Structure 1
């Protein structure tokens, strides 16, 4: 992916911020328990910043455990964030240029957003803003491809867009390579499986809020969604889809 296409896909979320906020999956409590266990300290009372916060899906859960600030580069996403979490401060910026003080944080978190950064810049920035012993935590919800209907849907997405399975992957080896490419932190890894049941319409709105669909255009997306609705109703005739996710968590401690 070229830098231009990466930037276009990252900024595409601004046009669908409300759709993103309403339909994207959240995260299980076990994720935050794993973060605390791996970091060796509680989130409660910690100084924490959530980067690439989007509409605040992850930030809302972190805020209940001690998050103090969020950072979001996109104006559309930031506007949606402010509507949903007016009590949480948000500043404009991104992981490559953190508008945060040196050695000021106990935790730096990236929910579904590290892959939009350049690790050659974002890792030095993380090292700068974290206190010694502070934790950098990165995570992604990944569709569980060992579930037959999810594997079949992923194959249909691949065929529709003519792209490989790495597209839309969240927390796979590609992302671990991104995290470790700068070679300045040692990451530990965990996976947490969880599920949610949602109406077919919510599931379709969720997948079509991904950047691949947003930059493809409404006509191509609508054609896929119409066909996919028929596939899903054949598997879930009651109209309720059981989505299964594996959260891939990477966490490193600043020396």
Structure 2
């Protein structure tokens, strides 16, 4: 059975890329809810509903576990869906927070996230639970996701928006920054450019892959033979636009991209 991955749009592809590299034997089914992206300004109730719809679609397709590769969906919906389904469902917040705590030497950590993720205080709580004395500054970056979804994340416009957003951090002291949205790694070159030299950037992809591998091993769900089954990508938006991004991000020559109506 394949592993399911869901996201509000294309951002979860940054997590999927890590999973593909680490688990070449596995098949993946990805759903990106581009038609209703971004989730960051949605109500918690909407996010829970949208997340549940995507996981139910994956359940019908037949998956052995699901990765919620969206920080906002993880913050608001993870516990809800974990109580409904009997296959493992993990999010990206706990792995990212754990890596940040292990990386930071000063325990002064900045979290860049969507408005919804920041309001949920999910990262704050996860970090403090692991390091009681940690200082956490969560900064909402509502303009970042639309830039990535529009495909202009390499352009001067993106650089300008990142610079303006991060200006409020100029008076703060910190050594570690969590990219608390799976869209944000695509803006990492600009984010790094406008942060103090030596700042550690934490993305959740690698840590999430560690968690997935651990669960597959623990429950003996790993695929041991290479199967001739290509991973499939579903989008609620424009499949042609989505396909171009998959080709660019994951270096896939001819990915299978289909439209999904939820």
Provide the TM-score with structure 2 as the length reference: 0.37
